[in-house]
Amino acid sequence: MWSIIQNSFLLLSPFLPTSLIPSSQITPHEDYHGPLTDGGVWYEAYERARGVVKEMTMEEKVNLTTAITGPCQANSGGVPRLGIPGLCFNDGPSGPRYTDFVTQWPSAFTAAASFDRDLIEERARRIGYEFRGKGINVELGPVTGGPLGRSPYAGRNWEAFTPDPYLSSTLSFLTVRGMQSSGLITCAKHYILYEQDPVCDGPLDDEGGRTGCRDVSSEVDDKTMKELYLPSFAETVRAGTGAVMCSYNKINGTAACENDDALNRILKDELGFKGFVLSDFGATHSTVGSALGGMDMELPGEYYYGQRLLKAVKKGTIPESRLDDMVHRILTPWYASKQDSDYPKVNYQKYDLSDSKEVNGHVFKNEHVDVRGDNAMYARKVAAESTVLLKNSGVLPIKGVRRIGVFGTDADYPSTLSGCGPDLFCLVGSRRRYWNGTVTIGGGSGAAYADYIAAPIEAISLKARQQGIRVDHVLQDDPAHFGSIGWVAYQSEICLVFVSLFLVEGWDREHLRLDKRGEELIKHVEKNCAGEVVVVLHAGGQIIVEDWIDLPKIGAVLFAGYPGQETGNALVDILWGDVNPSAKLPFTMGKSPKDWPRDNLVREMGKGSYPIAEFSEGLAIDYKWFDKHDITPRYEFGYGLSYTNFEFSGFEVEERYEKDRDTVQKTNERYEGQRGLYDTLYVAKVNITNTGKVPGAEVAQLYMTFPKSEVEQPPKHLRGYAKEYLEVGQMGTVEFPIRKKDISVWDVKKQLWKVPHGNFIFRVGNSSRELPLKMTVEIGSSF
Ligand code: NOJ
């Protein structure tokens, strides 16, 4: 097929030098045997779209490629004559943003801690139906590996799942599949290597916004790109994502939204992506460069597409076949998701929640459609299943106490729900943004409105009242209140301290500590508490806890992430043991900033015309960096406690072939051998027994070490995980299918995936550093 593609290039575009012809320019043709031609569910849609494109005028085609601000964050033009409406595009990954009567879900970074495939897919399915209910055609989400989480300082990691590419890949696949099962089109973002926000060196503007910003160029080698940053996007393609958003950053010097290599060669050819690439807001920098570079739609506004695109196509600078390709790509997922025959109309208008609003001369009605169903119940479940118990002296679950003290603004209601503006931006002080009550989600495009917040103080008070427990509280952090905080702590048998880290798009982190001097609050409560202290962390990233974690009265610590609107209820489920904690950290918590590579984020403009981030750590990010450099973390990737204990036994790895049955869009990735890259070749199995005193779930984790010949590989890689709920004394068996890709490396010279020959070591346990069982498997075949 490779050669067919190469040949059709030359035939179709004789007037361009071959080096300038992007491969997406290939017009689908009768003898084109693309990845959808073997019965994929998109095949019919692909054919229908091709037929419809032929009917359109050039103006109509351009209309479809350009989205402007409307009732939604962006609305593309339609072709009413052919029954094609404009599409509605709206954020974001934690639920429909900018509208009401929706659910504010736990963020992806939080939900990843559940290590629960079914839970993640069901979360996604429910989010998908909320978007559908509002009439949103394309969700600007999920965030699938851009950022992946290269640096703990990146301010948007909480919008994505985890820095581990295997966990991120599997969750990305399930999230796209779950969301699109509602008929919604997902947009996997931000493609690719978007690991930090722009560097800004201007003064803050009147509204506290940044000025003098320049996009960073991510400089990465081919192997790191293929093995670390690309796999999650490959999985979204396999799952059938209809759209992909190109990101703000440059890639090896060229803007992501006009990067022929990243968009045409890798995404569209190598991954076989048949949907459309849309630009992040303001990430388009050219007309011809973007069109030939592989970007199919501009959002929001008509800066480089619209009239300019039309002019360029008329002039012949952009071949009409490329315009056809853009429209074909936009319409294929629209037909595939059946939005042409069965989809609600847009019934809201973004930004304000009033009943109607005029946008571009049209009055849009806000029908306030309630799309929540019983999602609050499920959001609570996701939040509880994603709360990681980091430390426990036995103080949890709460029992036998009569007086509890609650401390910190983070336990309180936000003083207003939208008073910080639609982005939840709350400017406190000149350079720092804080949230004004309990932190349930981060700010910027990953945020979703909540219609209510079940604040921790509300849920704790209700639960305690049912049990005859007295609750005192001082919901303050400021040292000015330390007198009353100390006094209440002195009378409390359990002191619950709430601390947080609020992260906002556009503001990478300057340190790895808590907001509002949370460390001081913890230490003050610890000093004064009559009994033991339980610390609750609401944070969207890694926190250094060394100042206080080993203090004698710190009895328990919970990492609750950004749990969404059901925060307090989910927390109460864990505190009182109605839900036994089973979540695991989807990232590593180091002991010191020095544990991570230095200069992990670029902070300076540099000497050239843009700042450069050298991804010199290669494959070794997060736990792989700690493993490679033998650094002992405070809490390792995969770590999390339970109220019960588990034992592993009977570990086996057997050869078992199973053909891939999940793929929606087949990728064109090249590989050695006969078996498909996503076919299962081995299955590992292990027994788990609940040896403790209460029922609970454990996450069995499988890690793999490549043969010694693979010198560039970090010491181990997650290659399987399975969550099993077990009654007291019960034993269960879990299986981990190991696909060909999971045991392959990217051969840079041959430009293909290959299974290295030699001894593979597999280990299983319940964290990346607690792996009691081991097996060596000799692999001598390329399959
Ligand atoms: C910029 C963000 O990077 C992107 O994720 C979001 O979808 C758009 N803004 C629209 O809010």
3-state secondary structure of 728: coil
Residue 349's pLDDT band (boundaries 50, 70, 90)? confident
> Mean pLDDT lowest for which of 122-126, 325-329, 432-436?
432-436
Instruction: Check residue 416 and give its pLDDT.
Output: 64
Distance 297 CA to ligand 1 centre (A): 15
Instruction: Check residue 316 and give its pLDDT.
Output: 97
Tell me how far apart the alpha carbons of residues 148 and 698 are, in angstroms, rounded to a whole number: 25
Across 63-80, b (16+ Cβ under 10 Å) vs e yields: bbbbbbbbbbbbbbbebe
CA angle 75, 79, 83 (to 5 degrees): 110
> Mean pLDDT lowest for which of 19-28, 112-121, 179-188, 359-368?
19-28
Name the residue at shortest CA distance from atom 8 of ligand 1: 281
Catalytic option among 280, 325, 515, 595: 280
Across 306-339, b (16+ Cβ under 10 Å) vs e yields: bebbbebbeeeebbebbbbbbbbbbbbbbbbbeb
Mean per-residue pLDDT, 522-533: 98
Q: Which tokens in the block code for residue 139?
A: 């969700």
Residue spans of alpha helices (H) in 89-183 = 108-111, 117-134, 165-180
Instruction: Judge whether 759 and 707 are in contact, CB under 8 Å.
Output: yes
What 3 state SS string does 399-442 have? Answer: CCCCEEEEECHHHCCCCCCCCCCCCCCCEECCCEECCCCCCCCC
Name the residue at shortest CA distance from atom 5 of ligand 1: 445
Residue 353's pLDDT band (boundaries 50, 70, 90)? low
Mean per-residue pLDDT, 455-460: 98
Instruction: Check residue 405 and give its pLDDT.
Output: 98
Instruction: Judge whether 162 and 168 are in contact, CB under 8 Å.
Output: yes
Residue 382's pLDDT band (boundaries 50, 70, 90)? very high
Name the residue at shortest CA distance from atom 6 of ligand 1: 445
Distance 192 CA to ligand 1 centre (A): 14
Percent of the chain past pLDDT 70, that is, above it, reads 91
Element (H, E) at 685: strand 680-690
Residue 12's pLDDT band (boundaries 50, 70, 90)? very low
Domain positions in the chain: 18-365, 376-587, 644-779
Between the two ends of the chain, the Cα-to-Cα distance in Å is 21
Burial class (CB in 10 A: 0-12, 13-18, 19+), 632: exposed
CA-based max dimension of the chain: 83
- For ligand 1, residues with CB inside 6 Å are 73, 91-92, 140, 189-190, 280-281, 445
Instruction: Check residue 600 and give its pLDDT.
Output: 81
Mean per-residue pLDDT, 325-354: 90
Q: Residue 436: is its pLDDT beyond 90?
A: no
Instruction: Check residue 437 and give its pLDDT.
Output: 87
- Which residues lie below 8 Å from residue 695, measured CB to CB, with a gap of 6+? 580, 644, 725, 726, 727, 728
Instruction: Check residue 181 and give its pLDDT.
Output: 93
Q: Which atom of ligand 1 is nearest to the CA of 92?
A: 7
Instruction: Check residue 34 and give its pLDDT.
Output: 45
Tell me how far apart the alpha carbons of residues 112 and 503 are, in angstroms, rounded to a whole number: 18
Cis peptide before 453 (omega within 30 of 0): no
Span 706-756, pLDDT tens digits: 999 999 999 999 999 999 999 999 999 999 999 999 999 999 999 999 999
Distance 435 CA to ligand 1 centre (A): 20
Tell me how far apart the alpha carbons of residues 186 and 182 are, in angstroms, rounded to a whole number: 10
Q: Which tokens in the block code for residue 337?
A: 């998701």
Q: Which atom of ligand 1 is nearest to the CA of 445?
A: 11
Q: Residue 582: is its pLDDT beyond 50?
A: yes
CATH level 2 (architecture), domain 644-779: Sandwich (2.60)
Distance 669 CA to ligand 1 centre (A): 29
- Other beta carbons less than 10 A from residue 611's beta carbon: 23
Distance 31 CA to ligand 1 centre (A): 39
Instruction: Check residue 459 and give its pLDDT.
Output: 98
3-state secondary structure of 751: coil
Do 376-587 and 644-779 fold alike per CATH? no
Q: E-strand spans in 691-751?
A: 696-705, 717-726, 731-739, 745-747
Cis peptide before 106 (omega within 30 of 0): no
Testing ligand 1's pocket by substitution, the residue of 191, 445, 507 carrying the most ligand atoms inside 8 A of its CB is: 445
Specify the higher pLDDT residue, 22 or 343.
Answer: 343
Q: From residue 661, give the alpha-carbon distance in Å to each of 238, 664, 682.
A: 11, 9, 16
Q: Residue 176: is its pLDDT beyond 60?
A: yes
Name the residue at shortest CA distance from atom 1 of ligand 1: 281
Instruction: Check residue 13 and give its pLDDT.
Output: 26
Q: Residue 6: is its pLDDT beyond 50?
A: no
**What's phi and psi for 473, nearest 5 deg?**
-150, 145
Q: From residue 127, give the alpha-carbon distance in Å to each of 132, 156, 338.
A: 9, 20, 18
Q: Residue 539: is its pLDDT beyond 90?
A: yes
Residue 30's pLDDT band (boundaries 50, 70, 90)? very low
Q: Phi-psi category of 611—alpha, beta or left, where left has phi over 0 and alpha has psi -120 to 50?
A: beta
Instruction: Check residue 419 and give its pLDDT.
Output: 44
3-state secondary structure of 474: strand
Span 236-257, pLDDT tens digits: 999 999 999 999 999 999 999 9
Q: Which tokens in the block code for residue 397?
A: 């679950």
Span 118-163, pLDDT tens digits: 999 999 999 999 999 999 999 999 999 999 999 999 999 999 999 9
Instruction: Check residue 681 and give its pLDDT.
Output: 98
> Mean pLDDT lowest for which of 4-18, 200-214, 346-360?
4-18
Looking at the chain, how many residues does it have?
783
Residue 418's pLDDT band (boundaries 50, 70, 90)? low
Whether 595 is catalytic: no
Highest mean pLDDT among 87-101, 138-152, 438-452, 607-621: 138-152
Testing ligand 1's pocket by substitution, the residue of 69, 138, 194, 245 carrying the most ligand atoms inside 8 A of its CB is: 245
Instruction: Check residue 414 and give its pLDDT.
Output: 81
Instruction: Judge whether 74 and 89 are in contact, CB under 8 Å.
Output: yes
- Which CATH class, in words, describes the domain spanning 18-365? alpha beta
| Residue 501 one-letter amino acid | L
Spatial CA neighbour of 256 closest among 228, 229, 284: 284
Instruction: Check residue 23 and give its pLDDT.
Output: 34
Q: Which atom of ligand 1 is nearest to the CA of 444?
A: 11
Testing ligand 1's pocket by substitution, the residue of 279, 281, 350 carrying the most ligand atoms inside 8 A of its CB is: 281
| Residue 65 one-letter amino acid | T
DSSP state, residue 184: P
- Other beta carbons less than 10 A from residue 465's beta carbon: 11
Q: Which atom of ligand 1 is nearest to the CA of 74?
A: 10
Q: Which fold has domain 376-587?
A: Rossmann fold (3.40.50)
Across 422-444, b (16+ Cβ under 10 Å) vs e yields: ebbbbbeeeeebbbbbbbbbbbb
Name the residue at shortest CA distance from atom 3 of ligand 1: 280
Q: Phi-psi category of 390—alpha, beta or left, where left has phi over 0 and alpha has psi -120 to 50?
A: alpha
- Which residues lie below 8 Å from residue 104, measured CB to CB, with a gap of 6+? 94, 95, 379, 440, 441, 448, 449, 450, 453, 564, 565
Percent of the chain past pLDDT 90, that is, above it, reads 80
Instruction: Judge whether 187 and 67 are in contact, CB under 8 Å.
Output: no
